[in-house]
């Protein structure tokens, strides 16, 4: 039940700060009281109450369900005592405690008196009502027992009278009760026995006395079974009458299960309580990815986006950790607004209204949608829906088309989000030219994932730092992936050729132009001219100068 509720919380995070803080208070109180482990053991004894109550509402409840309900109600006082022993009881936990205290105690006692500890799966199997619960049922059971003893006595008498040592009384649903004799003793069968069935190794018979006892026993057992079913349905009606109270108990158990689990995870893995501000600044110190850190040594990273910072362009080679960094920021924001502690040393966040992500490659071939078209559709949805209170995660947008088209679209989308929407955006890209946005658009910062070259090898530091990545290291990543040496050598040759043909003289640290080289000197000269003020001689001299510049 806690699993389903946690899924609903994750799919619908809160936007009301008071409700978020209430959940965080509950998690913090359970951590301070170190009660997540004993509460976990107690909750294991409780059934999935919401699902059980659903079967009560649809009339499909079984005897074992009532036993599960009884055991759940019996463990509630112990859970309530554990909660009452906490150093402090925040409002959310106090509400859960109150739900347990108002559980229907009388129903627990009624089920305990009525239903046996090991009832059958179905009511028609009988034996689910305890002895002593109903006098009429007890009388019917006593009568049935007496009839069974009479049948057993008849078997013993007939065995003695006929001298058939293997004689036995049997029963099946088709014939009812019968006397079974093996073929070897058929000659000893009395003439007053009537044959009922012939088998390969035996014959089955009936007598008037056995038929009379069997009829009485079947009728008595049927009456007892009907009485049991009647008592069971009356008990189910009592449970149905308490559905509103039991439903609140089920909700409280699910809430406690989620809060307890969040407390255990927070304590075990060193999560911290997030703080919220009324502005738009976002600060994460030593943030971690909650899943990746479980399977590998993880390098924590910081992210600081002040009120006036709207876009962070993250560059770096493949495998450096750009995508993990983006996703961990989104997960930390999501967990915070779910009401969970977060995998970070410190986190101060705004209250977000939406989290948008464009991560990974996807297509819809059946609908005729390519990977790039899927990217553009999602980008359009983000632009249409994002607000100043949104968080947007874009991972390598524009890579599904040509370099120039992709770079142009990535530039314009990032610029729009930074200038128009002004939401918090993290944009991971291999287009290092996008770093020039920081020079042209206020509120844009550049981050990169650090890499170190050592003795011809590339070492990924997985550390996010200010600035722009110097190289893409694509060939080096191919080498790490195990590409053949011949392929790598050819790639290095072609890469060097491409870099020479597209070389632009720049100083170290200077950003490359976004769309090719800067203006040609002749163009710059033309832009400075005012033709209306030039004399014919000056115009001729200008033409000579322009020709020398070409």
Q: Yes or no: say if 355 and 246 are a contact pair by the CB < 8 Å rule.
A: no
Residue-level pLDDT at 520 = 66
pLDDT higher than 80, residue 323: yes
- Find the DSSP H helices in 174-271: 208-241, 243-269
Q: Yes or no: say if 336 and 21 are a contact pair by the CB < 8 Å rule.
A: no
Residue-level pLDDT at 364 = 56
Residue-level pLDDT at 363 = 53
Quick one: 467 and 537 in the same domain? no
Quick one: 458 and 315 in the same domain? yes
Q: Whole-angstrom distance between the N-terminal and C-terminal Cα of the chain?
A: 76
Q: How many CB atoms neighbour CB 247 within 10 A?
A: 16
pLDDT higher than 50, residue 86: yes
Quick one: 480 and 537 in the same domain? no
Residue-level pLDDT at 337 = 97
With 0.85 as the threshold, say if the pTM is over it.
Answer: no
Outline where DSSP puts E strands in 3-124. Answer: none
Rounded distance, CA 428 to CA 397, Å?
8
Residue-level pLDDT at 367 = 61
Please give the share of the chain, as a percent, with pLDDT higher than 70. 93
> Whats the size of the chain, residue-wise?
550
Q: How many CB atoms neighbour CB 197 within 10 A?
A: 14
Residue-level pLDDT at 143 = 94
Express each pLDDT in 403-462 by its tens digit.
778 888 888 999 999 999 999 999 998 888 888 999 889 999 999 998 887 776 778 888
Quick one: 341 and 311 in the same domain? yes
Please check whether residue 125 lies inside any domain of the structure.
no
Quick one: 15 and 30 in the same domain? yes
Express each pLDDT in 377-394 by its tens digit.
888 999 999 999 999 999
Classify 306 as helix, strand or coil. coil
Tell which of 440, 460, 484 closes a domain. 484
Mean pLDDT score, 33-57: 90
Q: How would you label 428-464 residue by residue, b for 16+ Cβ within 10 Å and e otherwise?
A: bbbbbbbbbbbeeeebbbbbbbbbeeeeeebebebbb
Please check whether residue 232 lies inside any domain of the structure.
no
pLDDT higher than 70, residue 503: no
Report residue 512's pLDDT band, with 50, 70 and 90 as the boundaries: very low
Express each pLDDT in 152-161 by its tens digit.
999 999 999 9
Smallest CA-to-CA distance from 104 within 168, 144, 53, 138 is with: 53
Q: Yes or no: say if 236 and 228 are a contact pair by the CB < 8 Å rule.
A: no
Mean pLDDT score, 171-179: 89
Higher pLDDT pick, 238 / 366: 238
Higher pLDDT pick, 336 / 122: 336
Please check whether residue 371 lies inside any domain of the structure.
yes
Cα dihedral 400, 406, 412, 415, rounded to 10, equals: 80
Residue 242, token pair as written in the block: 């308490």
Please check whether residue 329 lies inside any domain of the structure.
yes
Smallest CA-to-CA distance from 178 within 196, 156, 160 is with: 196
Quick one: 337 and 191 in the same domain? no
Q: How many CB atoms neighbour CB 311 within 10 A?
A: 28
Q: Yes or no: say if 386 and 422 are a contact pair by the CB < 8 Å rule.
A: no
Quick one: 187 and 89 in the same domain? no
Q: In the 3-class helix/strand/coil scheme, how is 123-170 assigned residue by residue?
A: HHHCCCECCCCCHHHHHHHHHHHHHHHHHHHHHHHHHHHHCCCCCEEE
Average pLDDT, the chain: 88
Rounded distance, CA 469 to CA 451, Å?
8
Residue 375, token pair as written in the block: 């990217």
Q: How many CB atoms neighbour CB 353 within 10 A?
A: 15
Quick one: 470 and 523 in the same domain? no
pLDDT higher than 80, residue 538: no
Distance of CA 205 to the CA centre of its chain: 63
Show the domain range for 217. 135-224
Smallest CA-to-CA distance from 293 within 425, 462, 426 is with: 462
Q: How many CB atoms neighbour CB 508 within 10 A?
A: 5
Tell which of 194, 224, 254 closes a domain. 224
Report residue 359's pLDDT band, with 50, 70 and 90 as the boundaries: confident
Q: How many CB atoms neighbour CB 407 within 10 A?
A: 21
Tell which of 484, 508, 527 closes a domain. 484
Residue-level pLDDT at 509 = 45
Rounded distance, CA 317 to CA 360, Å?
16
pLDDT higher than 90, residue 31: yes
Q: Yes or no: say if 357 and 382 are a contact pair by the CB < 8 Å rule.
A: no
Please check whether residue 231 lies inside any domain of the structure.
no
Express each pLDDT in 223-265 by its tens digit.
999 999 999 999 999 999 999 999 999 999 999 999 999 999 9
Q: Yes or no: say if 73 and 107 are a contact pair by the CB < 8 Å rule.
A: yes
DSSP type of residue 419: I
Residue-level pLDDT at 504 = 42
Total count of domains within the chain? 4
- CATH number at 217 reads 1.10.1420.10
Please give the share of the chain, as a percent, with pLDDT higher than 90. 59
Percent helix / strand / coil, the chain, rounded to 5: 55, 15, 30
Rounded distance, CA 157 to CA 163, Å?
10
Residue-level pLDDT at 366 = 55
| Cross-strand bridge partners of residue 453 | 458
- CATH number at 464 reads 3.40.50.300
Please check whether residue 339 lies inside any domain of the structure.
yes
Residue 146, token pair as written in the block: 């007496």
Please check whether residue 33 lies inside any domain of the structure.
yes
Quick one: 309 and 359 in the same domain? yes
Quick one: 280 and 261 in the same domain? no
Classify 400 as helix, strand or coil. coil
Quick one: 262 and 356 in the same domain? no
Quick one: 265 and 283 in the same domain? no
Smallest CA-to-CA distance from 335 within 39, 20, 18, 32 is with: 20
Please check whether residue 109 lies inside any domain of the structure.
no
Outline where DSSP puts E strands in 98-208. Answer: 168-172, 176-182, 194-198, 202-206
Residue-level pLDDT at 540 = 74
């Amino acid at each position: 039940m806690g699993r389903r509720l946690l899924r609903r919380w994750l799919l619908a995070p809160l936007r009301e700060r008071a409700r978020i803080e209430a959940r965080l208070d509950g998690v913090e109180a359970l951590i301070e009281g170190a009660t997540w482990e004993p509460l976990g053991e107690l909750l294991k004894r409780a059934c999935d109450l919401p699902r059980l109550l659903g079967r009560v509402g649809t009339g499909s409840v079984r005897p074992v369900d009532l036993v599960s309900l009884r055991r759940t109600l019996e463990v509630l006082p112990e859970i309530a005592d554990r909660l009452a022993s906490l150093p402090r009881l925040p409002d959310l936990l106090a509400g859960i405690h109150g739900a347990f205290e108002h559980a229907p105690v009388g129903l627990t006692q009624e089920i305990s008196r009525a239903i046996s500890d090991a009832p059958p799966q179905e009511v028609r199997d009988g034996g689910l009502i305890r002895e002593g619960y109903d006098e009429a049922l007890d009388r019917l059971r006593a009568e049935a027992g007496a009839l069974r003893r009479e049948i057993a006595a008849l078997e013993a008498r007939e065995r003695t009278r006929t001298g058939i040592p293997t004689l036995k009384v049997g029963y099946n649903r088709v014939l009812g009760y019968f006397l079974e004799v093996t073929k070897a003793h058929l000659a000893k069968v009395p003439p007053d026995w009537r044959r009922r069935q012939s088998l390969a190794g035996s014959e089955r018979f009936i007598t008037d006395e056995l038929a009379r006892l069997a009829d009485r026993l079947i009728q008595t057992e049927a009456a007892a079974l009907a009485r049991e079913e009647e008592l069971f349905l009356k008990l189910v009606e009592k449970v149905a009458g308490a559905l509103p109270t039991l439903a609140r108990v089920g909700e409280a158990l699910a809430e406690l299960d989620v809060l307890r689990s969040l407390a255990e995870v927070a304590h075990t893995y060193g999560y911290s309580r997030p703080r919220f501000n009324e502005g738009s600044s976002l600060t994460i110190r030593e943030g971690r990815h909650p899943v990746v850190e479980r399977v590998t040594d993880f390098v924590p990273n910081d992210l600081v986006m002040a009120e006036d910072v709207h876009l962070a362009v993250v560059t770096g080679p493949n495998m450096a950790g750009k995508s993990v960094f983006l996703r961990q920021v989104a997960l930390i924001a999501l967990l915070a607004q779910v009401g969970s502690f977060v995998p970070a040393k410190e986190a101060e966040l705004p209250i977000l209204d939406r989290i948008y992500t464009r991560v990974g490659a996807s297509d819809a071939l059946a609908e005729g949608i390519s990977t790039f078209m899927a990217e553009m559709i999602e980008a359009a949805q983000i632009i249409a829906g994002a607000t100043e209170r949104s968080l947007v995660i874009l991972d390598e947008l524009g890579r599904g088309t040509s370099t120039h088209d992709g770079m142009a679209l990535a530039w314009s989308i990032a610029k729009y989000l930074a200038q128009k929407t002004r939401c918090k955006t993290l944009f991971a890209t291999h287009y290092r030219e996008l770093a020039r946005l920081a020079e042209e658009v206020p509120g844009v910062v550049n981050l990169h994932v650090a890499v170190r070259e050592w003795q011809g090898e590339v070492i990924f530091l997985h550390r996010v730092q200010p600035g722009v990545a110097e190289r893409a290291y694509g060939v080096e990543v191919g080498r790490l992936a195990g590409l053949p040496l011949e392929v790598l050598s050819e790639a290095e040759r072609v890469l060097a050729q491409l870099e020479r043909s597209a070389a632009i003289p720049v100083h170290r640290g200077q950003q490359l132009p976004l769309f090719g080289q800067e203006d040609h000197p002749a163009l710059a000269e033309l832009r400075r001219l005012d033709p209306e003020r030039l004399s014919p001689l000056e115009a001729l001299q200008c033409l000579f100068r322009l020709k020398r510049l070409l």
